[in-house]
Every structure is written in C-alpha cells, then in structure tokens.
C-alpha cells in the first residue's frame, strides 16, 4: 500500500514538473531576470551568444575577449566563456587600462568609447 | 538537429558498453547488468586511452578512439570469453513506466531548458575546450581565473562530451542526452538487483517505476540535464549487486570498476571510491579470508590508477583550489547539519529525500550493512567537506545537497526494497551458488 502511494505521488510529481518545464520552455519564461537564472535557449543568453559570435570573427585568433561589464556580473561572464571556449574571456570595468578594446553596446559602453568594429548593439569599442 | 546528432550519445554508449565486454561478459550477472558494467569498463578504457594520448602529446582523434574501442569490443567475441549470463526477468509494466520517465526527461533535456548551470560554467566549457584543443588543456585549467570551473575535478565526463561531439559536432541537445541515458543505466542496475534478490514481479515493477519517476521528476525540477552526479548514482547503484553478493573475485571486479568510475567522475567520487574499496576489503577480512590475487588486483588497481593519475596531474599543474582544502570545524559542521535537515524537504525532491533517513535502519539487515557503510561514508565525506570549506556554508549546502541525495537515492531505494521484500533464504542460496560459479569463471 505504501509503495503504491509512493508510486502515485512520484508519478504526479513527475507529470507536474515535466508539464511546468515544457510550459516554461514554450513560453521562454525566465522566472528571474538575473543571469544566475538564465536557461540554455532562453532569450538573454541567445542574444549574448549572437553578440559574441559577431565580434569573434572580428578579433585575431587567440586574442582574449574583454567583456565590458562594470557591474561585474559573474554569471554573464561565465556564459560568455561558454560561448567562446576557444578564447579567454575577461571582465572589463573601471580598472581596465585606457585604449583597450572591449565588447560592449552603444548603451552600455562607457562615455567617450569609440566603436571600432561591429554593430552598435554589439561591437568592439576602444576605451577612452 | 541531424539524426546523427540525436544518436551520437546513444551510439557512444553502445560502443563503450561493447568495448567493456571483455571484462563484463566474464561476470556471472544478467545480460542487462553486463550492459551497465560494460559501459562502465568502456568509459574507463576511453578515459585511459585519452589520458595516454595526453601523456604522449598526441591529439585526440576519432580515428584513434573509434578503432581502439571497436578493437576492445571485438576481443570479447574473438577470444570467446563470454560466460553464460544469469537469467533476468521479462519486460513488465514497471519497465514501461521507467522508459516513459527516461523519455520524458530526454525530451526536456534535448531542449536545453533543463540544463544544469554547471554544464555551462564547468563541464560543457571544459569538454568543448578539450575538444578544440585535442587534449585536456591543463594550461587553461591552471590559469588564475580557472578557479571558477573547478580545475581540480577529474576529467572523464568532459572527455566523454568531447568524444561524443567528435561524432556530431558540439550540439548541446545531443550532449545533454547523456543524463537520461545514465538514468536508464541506473534503472537497469536497480531492476537487476531486485531480480537477483528474488523480489516478486509486482513489487519489483513498482519499485523500478518509483525510482524512475522520482529521479526523473527531480531531474526536471532541479534542472539536472548535463550534471555529473548521474555518474556517482550509477557507480553506487551498479555496485549494489556485488555488495549484496557473497565474497568473490567477480564481486571484486564489479566494485573495482564502480569505484574507478566514481573516482574518475567528480571530486566527491573519491570518497565513494575509497568507501567501496575499503568496505569490500573489510568484508574479506571480517570473514577471515583474503581476496584472490586477481580479485585484489581488480579491486585496487583501476581505482588507484584513475585517482592516482588525476591527482598527479592536479599536483603537477597546481590545480588544487583553496576552497577544496581545509579541515572540518565543529561550528560549521553544526551549521551544515542544520541546513541539510532543511534541505531534506527541498521542493525539488517533493519529500522523497526524507526516505534517506531510513539508511541507518538498514543496518539491522546484515546483508545490507556493506552498502549502508558505503552510503554513510559518502554522506560523512560530504558533511566533512562542507564543514571544512571556508565559504558560505548555507549557499554551499543549498546548491549541492539535493544532488548528493540523487547520488545515493536509487541504490538506497533498491536496498530498502531488498530489506522489505527479498526472500532472504532463497536469494542467499542463489547468490552463494552464483559466487562459486563466478569464482570458477573468473579464475578460469
């Protein structure tokens, strides 16, 4: 009897979890916007992937990628490293020396930074 | 995704299971369990091959790995080392439910939506890097920022990902299928131990279906596609038949393989490996006997080689991280125990983790004591590790304990079923006969 109850409970929980995951996947719903909760295939990491792929082609082979991120978002940095396994990915911020080229967008790039390649939404910007 | 993408992980699994048959086909177990043990032996062979290529400075290539594994598979047939297998049970409703649960998990794993973050930060990143470089990239692991991806972890899993990707390219959906496949192997192990113990079919089906649904439900809730914890759950579940069987060389072989797999998979697998070997040796000495030379070698050499190589590389490249050092502190141990008690009710397990509280009660069943000793040693190692790490203990336990539960859950449920439902006299007699047959088979 106990085994039967456990079995029914296990079946119910599996169906509950599977339906919930399928629903979230179809809707692309992230319950938290933070990069800590990003899922493979969700929009934020896909956008980051597209961005990194576009700038990857613009950089010499083996050159590290400096990801402009003054907020020091640890998880976003790790996702970026996953998308570029052939490169070193380094977080860039206020301490980054002037003149270095970083990956940023027109909205996130620091004041005075000049875009040297790529698109405004995701390009290579030279720090002032 | 192409058909090859879908099939890459299952193909590699079949290839590894075939490559392990020179060992597994000599064991007096059922055919399904031979598949499981063959996979374990094959995965260890692959790990050994890739490590050897690293030592020689040769690039990993499918043109090397594939013929090597095929040659190993052919050996089992050419030398006709196959022994008669023990009878398994016929397919039933519990197996059908288990297949449905595995397929459900696989379908969601393929989407990537339930990929564990560790696949991104850690296992997948390393696997992809190693694939591109054609070797374990110790320079990459040893970089100052390398602490973020646990450079001191063993590399069997990233290697498996790299070899799978050699077949069909780096496609997460295909690579994440390893987790449901490992769940399937775990369920086969659970099923076969119940068969060996003579548990009546209806109860056996109910237990197999329960383990399948509870583990698959947890896998979806805790986003476990791509996790390495499945390897440890497999190592423990596959060792259970040998821990229950009378002492024999065949049992030593099985436990040696499972210990090596545990040691090659994760850092905490080292504790499981040591526990498995120590408990099996203790069983021999407790009975006033000594393992045969072949049994001693099979029990000790694979785990020692795997763990020794891994730690030699860690020392060579200074990979051991500060957060993995340290002795347990009583105050942290108390905090760990308190948070562990909370986490037994973690929603991802829907209350099933509480079943682990039965573990100490299983000590009342003499035949289960070796298994309980291994499981408790593993838990004790986890508690000591949490109490030894100078970090946020709450965060550490909350992010890891539910996965530790997975590592011992399937085998524990199987052991509980043995305690409750097994026909002790019949299975003891059957096991004794099998042990004698196995000793003859292995020594022949």
pLDDT surpassing 90 at residue B172: yes
pLDDT of residue B373: 98
Beta strand residue intervals within A3-128, DSSP E: 65-68, 89-92, 101-104, 114-119, 122-126
pLDDT surpassing 90 at residue B141: yes
- Lowest-pLDDT range, A97-111, B267-281, B380-394, B421-435? B421-435
User: Which of B242, B219, B220, B201 has its CA nearest to residue B93?
Assistant: B201
- Lowest-pLDDT range, A71-80, B70-79, B111-120, B363-372? B70-79
How many alpha carbons lie under 13 Å from residue B2 in its C-beta half-sphere? 8
The runs of H, that is alpha helices, within B197-268 are 201-221, 229-244, 249-265
* B311 token code pair: 């730690």
Which residue is associated with the tokens 């089992």? B76
pLDDT of residue B88: 85
* B118 token code pair: 């560790």
Q: Quote the minimal CA–CA distance from A3 to chain B in Å.
A: 7
Q: Are strands A122-126 and A114-119 parallel, antiparallel or unpaired?
A: antiparallel
CB-based contact (8 Å) between A8 and chain B?
no
CB-based contact (8 Å) between A78 and chain B?
yes
How many alpha carbons lie under 13 Å from residue A75 in its C-beta half-sphere? 13
Give tens-digit pLDDT for B340-389: 999 999 999 999 999 999 999 999 999 999 999 999 999 999 999 999 98
Compute the distance between CA of residue A101 and CA of residue A55 in angstroms, rounded to an integer. 11
pLDDT of residue B82: 61
Residues 6+ apart with CB under 8 A from B407: B229, B232, B233, B236, B268, B272, B378
pLDDT of residue A107: 87
pLDDT of residue B285: 94
pLDDT surpassing 80 at residue A69: yes
Residues 6+ apart with CB under 8 A from B117: A36, A75, B223
Give tens-digit pLDDT for B56-104: 999 999 999 999 999 999 987 787 656 777 888 889 999 999 999 999 9
CB-based contact (8 Å) between A14 and chain B?
yes
pLDDT of residue B144: 84
Compute the distance between CA of residue A98 and CA of residue A127 in angstroms, rounded to an integer. 5
Taking CA–CA distances from B108, the nearest residue in chain A reads A22
Helix (H, G, I), strand (E, B) or coil at B258: helix
User: Which of B79, B9, B82 has its CA nearest to residue B39?
Assistant: B9
Compute the distance between CA of residue B321 and CA of residue B323 in angstroms, rounded to an integer. 5
**Residues 321-360, chain B: which have Cβ within 8 Å of A?**
350-352
Closest partner CB to A7 (pick from B125, B143, B206): B206
pLDDT surpassing 60 at residue B404: yes
Q: Which residues of B fall within a CB distance of 8 Å from A78?
A: 120-121, 125, 148
CB-based contact (8 Å) between B428 and chain A?
no
Give tens-digit pLDDT for A83-128: 999 999 999 988 899 999 999 998 888 889 999 999 999 999 999 9
Question: Which of A8-41 are b and which e, b meaning 16 or more Cβ less than 10 Å from the residue's Cβ?
Answer: ebbbebbeebbeebbebbeeeebeeeebeebbbe
CB-based contact (8 Å) between B11 and chain A?
no
Give tens-digit pLDDT for B188-211: 999 999 999 999 999 999 999 999
How many alpha carbons lie under 13 Å from residue A108 in its C-beta half-sphere? 18
Contact A18 B128 (CB under 8 A): no
Compute the distance between CA of residue B394 and CA of residue B408 in angstroms, rounded to an integer. 21
pLDDT surpassing 50 at residue B438: no
Q: How confident is the model at residue B424 (pLDDT cuts 50, 70, 90)?
A: low
Q: Which residues of B fall within a CB distance of 8 Å from A42?
A: 113
> How much is the mean pLDDT over chain B?
92
pLDDT of residue B156: 98
Residues 6+ apart with CB under 8 A from B56: none
pLDDT surpassing 50 at residue B440: no
């Amino acid at each position: 009897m106990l085994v039967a109850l456990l079995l029914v409970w296990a079946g119910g929980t599996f169906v509950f979890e599977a339906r919930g995951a399928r629903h979230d996947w179809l809707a692309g719903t992230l319950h938290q916007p933070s990069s800590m909760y990003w899922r493979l295939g969700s929009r934020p990491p896909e956008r980051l992937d597209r961005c990194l792929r576009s700038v990857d082609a613009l950089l010499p082979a083996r050159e590290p990628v400096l990801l402009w991120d003054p907020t020091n978002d640890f998880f976003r940095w790790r996702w970026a490293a996953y998308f570029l396994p052939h490169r070193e990915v380094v977080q860039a911020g206020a301490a980054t020396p002037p003149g270095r080229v970083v990956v940023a967008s027109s909205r996130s790039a620091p004041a005075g930074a000049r875009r040297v390649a790529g698109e405004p939404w995701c390009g290579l910007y030279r720090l002032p | 995704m192409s058909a090859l993408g879908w099939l890459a992980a299952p193909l590699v699994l079949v290839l590894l299971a075939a490559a392990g048959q020179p060992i597994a086909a000599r064991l007096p177990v059922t055919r399904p369990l031979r598949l499981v043990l063959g996979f374990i032996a094959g995965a260890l062979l692959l790990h050994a091959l890739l490590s050897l290529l690293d030592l020689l400075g040769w690039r990993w290539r499918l043109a090397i790995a594939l013929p090597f594994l095929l040659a190993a598979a052919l050996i089992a047939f050419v030398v006709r080392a196959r022994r008669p297998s023990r009878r398994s049970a016929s397919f039933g409703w519990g197996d059908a439910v288990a297949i449905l649960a595995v397929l459900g998990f696989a379908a969601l794993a393929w989407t990537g939506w339930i990929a564990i973050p560790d696949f991104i930060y850690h296992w997948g990143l390393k696997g992809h890097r190693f694939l591109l470089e054609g070797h374990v990239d110790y320079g990459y692991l040893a970089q100052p920022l390398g602490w973020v991806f646990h450079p001191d972890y063993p590399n069997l899993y990233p290697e498996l990902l790299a070899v799978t990707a050699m077949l069909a390219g780096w496609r997460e959906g295909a690579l994440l299928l390893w987790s449901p496949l490992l769940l399937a192997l775990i369920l086969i192990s659970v099923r076969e131990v119940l068969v060996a113990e003579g548990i009546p079919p209806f109860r056996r089906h109910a237990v197999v279906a329960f383990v399948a649904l509870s583990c698959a439900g947890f896998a979806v809730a805790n986003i476990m596609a791509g996790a390495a914890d499945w390897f440890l759950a497999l190592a423990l579940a596959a060792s259970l038949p040998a821990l229950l069987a009378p002492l024999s060389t065949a049992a030593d072989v099985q436990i040696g393989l499972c210990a090596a797999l545990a040691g090659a998979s994760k850092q905490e697998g080292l504790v499981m490996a040591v526990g498995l070997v120590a408990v099996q040796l203790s069983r021999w000495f407790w009975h006033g006997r000594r393992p045969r030379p072949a049994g001693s070698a099979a029990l000790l050499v694979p785990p020692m080689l795997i763990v020794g190589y891994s730690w030699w590389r860690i020392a060579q490249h200074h990979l051991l991280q500060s957060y993995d050092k340290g002795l347990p502190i009583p105050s942290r141990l108390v905090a760990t125990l308190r948070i562990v008690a909370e986490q037994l009710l973690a929603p991802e397990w829907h209350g099933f983790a509480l079943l682990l509280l039965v573990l100490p009660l299983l000590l009342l069943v003499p035949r289960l004591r070796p298994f309980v000793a291994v499981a408790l040693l593993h838990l004790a190692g986890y508690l000591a590790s949490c109490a030894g790490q100078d970090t946020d203990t709450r965060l550490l336990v909350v992010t890891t304990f539910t996965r530790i539960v997975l590592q011992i859950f399937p085998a524990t449920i199987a052991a509980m079923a043995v305690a409750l439902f097994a026909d002790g006299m019949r299975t003891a007699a059957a096991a004794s006969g099998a042990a004698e047959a196995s000793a003859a088979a292995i020594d022949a």
